[in-house]
Amino acid sequence: MNDRRRFLKSAALGTAAAALSPLAEAARPVAKTRAPAGVVRVVSTWDFGIAANQAAWAILSQDGHSLDAVEAGARVPEADIRNHSVGLGGYPDRDGHVTLDASIMDSDANCGGVACLEDIEHAVSVARLVMEKTPHVLLVGDGARQFALSQGFKQRNLLTPAADKAWHEWLKTSHYQPEINSEVRDYGAGVPIDKDNHDTIGILALDAHGKLAGACTTSGAAWKLHGRVGDSPIIGAGLYVDGEIGAATSTGMGEEVIRNAGSFLVVELMRQGRSPTEACKEAVLRVLHKHPSTACKTQVAFLAMNKAGEAGGYAIQRGFSYAVCDAKNQSALIPSASVFPA
Ligand code: ASP
């Protein structure tokens, strides 16, 4: 059993107990050893959220805006070639194209997204410009790419040698089977483990002005059909922010999230008085209820925070974790509660 699995096993699933994993320790220059107790300022999906949160915190701690913070945070895994499910180095579709999906949203319902974007590393920043510089919410495919180039983004090949190798390996069988959770990504030790075939960074932040924002970015499901778009760029599915209530994001099988308007549902449940964890749990149960035979075999996880700075998550399967950073820069990787414990 690897370090992360050992850590997750030893943590009490079904609770919000927090602790730092050995990998998180190694990934961060200044490791904290206590779970955050104060108001949560930034929260993000998976273990790679630890580093993303630190980039976001660098902005929040300088009295910066949550929108800048979530963009900065999301750019960290986008640029990390060891991460095979986000940005540069992401695994391609079945035809060998790395296609990115991303979205961003602020507390005033301003939002933007890109889907099936090729050749541009920082999809989240393109999404932000869709929001700020166009009258639209979502640009896709070549139109998104052309827009990015017109805004000065540099074109680059996102298919790294490691991802290309993994694709050629997959081509030998061409068997498409989404994995429930990606295997461990040993970023701390600098050893990439080429197992992840999906996972997304969703990041939510609350700034000192009381404003929420969120961002979400992914290369989506590895070996997907060319042109497939997941939940991440769809406002209301992979991401939703309501400045009066809270924010939510998702990871896992995007199709199941889209058909339930997942992140919007989580925010609406918080509006009705649920805590972030309760809202995420109810949304996960809704996903399971709609398509039990499909959903029980896959992973869907939601992560949410409310305006008071409370955060929580819930997943169908065990193995989902989320990174939390509070107003004192106390950081933790929290094993999410889940419907199925093993
Ligand atoms: N939600 C992403 C998608 O369906 C993948 C993931 O987060 O695992 O594209």
Ligand 1 pocket check: which of 181, 198, 287 to mutate, most ligand atoms within 8 Å of Cβ? 198
Report whether residue 218 contacts ligand 1, using a CB cutoff of 6 Å: yes
Residue 29 lies in a domain: no
pLDDT of residue 179: 63
Which ranges of the chain would DSSP assign to H, the alpha helix?
3-10, 22-27, 49-60, 66-79, 123-133, 141-150, 161-171, 254-258, 262-271, 276-290, 292-295
Ligand 1 pocket check: which of 85, 182, 217, 251 to mutate, most ligand atoms within 8 Å of Cβ? 251
The pTM of this model reads: 0.88
Please indicate whether residue 200 is annotated as part of the active site.
yes
3-class SS letters over 202-260: EEEEECCCCCEEEEEEECCCCCCCCCCCCCCCCECCCEEEECCCEEEEEEECHHHHHCC
pLDDT of residue 17: 33
pLDDT of residue 177: 72
DSSP state for residue 28 in the 8-state scheme: S
> Tens digit of pLDDT for each residue in 202-243?
999 999 999 999 999 999 999 999 999 999 999 999 999 999
Residue 13 lies in a domain: no
pLDDT of residue 38: 76
Residue 15 lies in a domain: no
pLDDT of residue 36: 62
Q: Rounded to whole angstroms, how far apart are CA atoms 185 and 86?
A: 13
Report whether residue 254 contacts ligand 1, using a CB cutoff of 6 Å: yes
Residue 179 lies in a domain: yes
Q: Rounded to whole angstroms, how far apart are CA atoms 218 and 142?
A: 17
**From the CA of 224, how far away is ligand 1's center (Å)?**
11
pLDDT of residue 121: 98
Residue 19 lies in a domain: no
pLDDT average per 10 residues of sequence, the chain (342 residues): 33 32 38 58 96 96 97 98 96 97 98 98 98 98 98 98 96 79 45 58 96 98 96 98 98 96 98 98 97 91 97 95 92 94 74
Domain extent for 185: 40-340
Q: What is the CATH number of the domain that holds 291?
A: 3.60.20.30
CA angle (162 as vertex; 160, 163 as ends), nearest 5: 65
Q: Rounded to whole angstroms, how far apart are CA atoms 55 and 137?
A: 26
DSSP state for residue 94 in the 8-state scheme: T
Report whether residue 118 contacts ligand 1, using a CB cutoff of 6 Å: no
pLDDT of residue 123: 98
pLDDT of residue 22: 34
> Tens digit of pLDDT for each residue in 279-294?
999 999 999 999 998 8
Residue 16 lies in a domain: no
**From the CA of 61, how far away is ligand 1's center (Å)?**
30
**From the CA of 219, how far away is ligand 1's center (Å)?**
8
Other C-beta atoms within 10 Å of 328: how many? 14
What token pair was written down for 127? 């999404």
Residue 201 lies in a domain: yes
Count structural domains, the chain. Answer: 1
SS3 of residue 97 by DSSP? coil
SS3 of residue 180 by DSSP? coil
Residue 312 lies in a domain: yes
Largest CA distance in the chain: 53
